[in-house]
A and B are shown apart, each in its own frame.
Chain A
Amino acid sequence: MFLHNLKYELLAQLRVKMFIVWLLVFPIALGFFFKMAFSGIYEKQDKFSSVPAAVVLTEEDPQFRAVLDEMERSDKPVLKAAYLTAEEAEKQLKDEKIEGIIRSEKGVLKLTVAGEGMNETILKSFCDIYNSNSEIIRSADPSKLPAVTGILMQDISPVEDIKLSGGNTDYYTEYFYNLIAMVGLFGSLIGLTITIEHQANLSALGARKNCSPTPKSLSLAASLVSRFIMQTACMIVCVSFQYFVLGIDYGRNLPLVYLGAVFAGIMGVSLGFMVGSIGKGTKDLKTSLTTAVVMFSCFLSGLMVGNMKSIIGRYAPIVNEINPASVISDCFHCLNIYDNYDRFISKLIVMAVMTFIFSFIGFILTRRRKYASL
């Protein structure tokens, strides 16, 4: 009986156009637009990462030249160095064609800049690191110079953030995490349909199911599992599309991103199931209520207004701990911030517990046997 219900519930779900649009087409389209919008920013960041600077050598400095050559060969060079005379360098600095002039005098780098800013800071960092490690560079085996250069310069890259966990903390990747969170919460819409299809006062289908000899709890369980399966598939497609098609870099945590997404989706379904089962409203009212709950949850979690989550965290931290959208976004966030998975696992546990609570409440409220009015 359970499998019979599950089979047809799944078959029916596969053909619900609204869900296909919201759970598959929408995230794919939005992900695509995100990628298009941010690709320009990525390019700017790439250009920004190579700071144009003039190198003026008052005497030959093979080690410094070797470091610059190594850096130029790297993927994301910190400097875009041009060897110039002192006069040419001064002129270009004045014309703002370069950000600074690096002079090598007796193996020590000296920097001249025209102003203050991130590029100037990068140049200063470069010079400081070089000067404080010049002895290491001079004594290094020439064959190991690329590695030494890489290690020395990694701390001053303006493009890549410091990675503690093997993930990608790139600011723009957060948007894709948020998109996954949103798709997870959209699952509430398919969770809502469980209630609608099982309540005699909400649909004719519900009335007919209530008249059948199949226990309602069994039918509800089959519907819930079918929605979980459906939503899981959508979450996997969403993450896969972002990773394989859009090329979003989730670092080495891709399997855990899948896991988090699946948990988020299942929690979204159970949230809709619970919200739909509360109160006596009409189908339209319940749909509106579910949408409102999801939107409010997203608002509180900062998915709409950037600093809202920190405001809530300051004044009512418990809200962030129980707000579904916050829990989902925290889950992905800590996956990339922390170098161990304790917090990630704790967020997964929170999602699992919330899924259980939402489903339990949904079951209890939907199993109501008789209606006051139909």
Chain B
Amino acid sequence: MANTIVKIDGLVKRYKNLIALDHLSLEIKEGEVFGLLGPNGSGKTTTINCLLSLLAFDKGTIEIFGKPMTPTSYDIKREIGIIMQNVAVFNELTVYDNIDYFCGLYITDKDKRKQCVEEAIKFVGLEDFTKFYPQKLSGGLLRRLNIACGIAHKPKLIILDEPTVAVDPQSRNKILEGIEQLNREGATVIYTSHYMEEVEQICTRIAIMDKGHKVAEGTKEELKKMIKNTETIWIEIPEPGEQLKAEIAALPHIYSTDYKDGRLQACCSGGKHNLIRVLEVLQKHDMHIGRVYTELPTLNDVFLEITGKALRDKEE
């Protein structure tokens, strides 16, 4: 069984009357890519800040590598790489100097550091920009520099706090591939995001947060099993009559139907051959059928069902 790398137990953080974290408990195992998913203001960044001992919290305990995490836990900090939500580099230093500076805070041996810096530059694909100053880099390249500064010292635990915010798709893919590669090389990763697609793509286990609570936790499959919806059927048809709608709604395993923008939506909960049964009803009513497709539930559906709201419906 894999070792526990991070253990958060009953964490409570209050900002005056607002409870930012409400008895949050998490356990992250070695080799995981652990996703913290939730809308803005759900407590993801607060969790990370408490984890890093930047924020004082009211209650609870935090252990990393089996030891309590404190601001002076330098031996623990040495093994952690942090990639902040905001780019944290010196604008006055070149790409190379920035990475070397931050790497130097962890590694004192010059030769080892030089090797680490060069590998980090190669890893994020900034070989052609080593002498550039951050202001001259595009948003995506800047994010890559931010990542290189955080991982150059080859940490065992990497914490990425929304690293792809305001990044173009190409750079985003590069970043996500990089995270997967770091994980393959042995790093345990904690990844926070409000982009469910990213979390779904790279995370092996996910905790969904809302208003400081952990509302669900598990693998993607486990999370999806928690909800009623197993499949959503979409069929392009002309406006159906009430009788037709009622017949479809009465089919087994169909728990909700709707018609919007020329498409019939039928949400299914378990069962087999749901699509065939729906098509048979439509055929019986001699409906002209356009495109037909089905969707498996997403983490957004999971979030919607658990919290009653969409993952990105409110920017708090």
Give chain A's interface residues, CB within 8 Å of chain B.
Answer: 1, 4-5, 8, 11-16, 200, 203-205, 207-215, 219, 369-374
Interface residue? B102 (CB, 8 A): yes
**Can you show 10 pairs from A to B with CB atoms below 8 A apart?**
A11-B97, A13-B92, A15-B93, A16-B92, A200-B49, A204-B87, A205-B89, A207-B84, A211-B80, A213-B105
Asked whether B102 lies within 8 Å of A208 as measured between CB atoms, the reply is yes
Asked whether A208 lies within 8 Å of B55 as measured between CB atoms, the reply is no
Asked whether B78 lies within 8 Å of A208 as measured between CB atoms, the reply is no
Interface residue? B219 (CB, 8 A): no
Instruction: Name the one of B88, B106, B108 contacting A207, with C-beta atoms under 8 angstroms.
Output: B88
> How many residues of chain B get a CB closer than 8 Å to chain A's CBs?
34
Asked whether A372 lies within 8 Å of B54 as measured between CB atoms, the reply is no
Residue of A nearest to B46 (CB): A374
Residue of A nearest to B53 (CB): A370
Asked whether A374 lies within 8 Å of B90 as measured between CB atoms, the reply is no
In the complex, what residues of B have CB within 8 A of residue A205's CB?
Answer: 88-90
Instruction: Name the one of B74, B92, B105, B108 contacting A15, with C-beta atoms under 8 angstroms.
Output: B92
Asked whether B54 lies within 8 Å of A200 as measured between CB atoms, the reply is yes
Residue of A nearest to B50 (CB): A370
In the complex, what residues of B have CB within 8 A of residue A13's CB?
Answer: 92
Known A-B contacts A204-B86, A208-B149; A369 and B72 likewise in contact (beta carbons under 8 Å): yes
Interface residue? B82 (CB, 8 A): yes
Instruction: Name the one of B55, B72, B93 contacting A12, with C-beta atoms under 8 angstroms.
Output: B93
Asked whether B71 lies within 8 Å of A8 as measured between CB atoms, the reply is no
Asked whether A210 lies within 8 Å of B54 as measured between CB atoms, the reply is yes
**Minimum C-beta distance from B124 to chain A (A):** 16
**What separation, in Å, do the CA atoms of A200 and B46 have in the docked complex?**
13
**Minimum C-beta distance from A111 to chain B (A):** 69
In the complex, what residues of B have CB within 8 A of residue A214's CB?
Answer: 105
**What separation, in Å, do the CA atoms of A340 and B102 have in the docked complex?**
50
Residue of B nearest to A206 (CB): B88
In the complex, what residues of B have CB within 8 A of residue A200's CB?
Answer: 49, 54
Asked whether B77 lies within 8 Å of A211 as measured between CB atoms, the reply is yes
Asked whether B74 lies within 8 Å of A374 as measured between CB atoms, the reply is no
In the complex, what residues of A have CB within 8 A of residue B84's CB?
Answer: 204, 207-208
**What separation, in Å, do the CA atoms of A200 and B74 have in the docked complex?**
17
B83-101 toward A: CB 8 Å interface, digit per residue (1/0)? 0111111101100010011
Instruction: Name the one of B71, B74, B97, B105 contacting A369, with C-beta atoms under 8 angstroms.
Output: B71
Interface residue? B75 (CB, 8 A): yes
Interface residues of B in 12-68 (CB under 8 A from A): 15, 49, 52-56
Known A-B contacts A12-B90, A208-B88, A211-B77; A371 and B105 likewise in contact (beta carbons under 8 Å): no
In the complex, what residues of B have CB within 8 A of residue A207's CB?
Answer: 49, 54, 82, 84, 88
Can you list the 7 inter-chain pairs with the closest CB atoms, starting with the nearest? Answer: A204-B88, A369-B71, A15-B92, A204-B86, A212-B105, A213-B74, A370-B56
Instruction: Name the one of B56, B90, B106 contacting A372, with C-beta atoms under 8 angstroms.
Output: B56
In the complex, what residues of A have CB within 8 A of residue B77's CB?
Answer: 211-213
In the complex, what residues of A have CB within 8 A of residue B71's CB?
Answer: 210, 369-370
**What separation, in Å, do the CA atoms of A1 and B101 have in the docked complex?**
10
In the complex, what residues of A have CB within 8 A of residue B97's CB?
Answer: 8, 11
Instruction: Name the one of B55, B87, B93 contacting A374, with C-beta atoms under 8 angstroms.
Output: B55
**What separation, in Å, do the CA atoms of A143 and B292 have in the docked complex?**
122
**Minimum C-beta distance from B79 to chain A (A):** 9
Residue with the greatest number of chain A CB neighbours at <10 A, chosen from B54, B55, B87: B54
Known A-B contacts A205-B88, A208-B84, A211-B82; A11 and B93 likewise in contact (beta carbons under 8 Å): yes
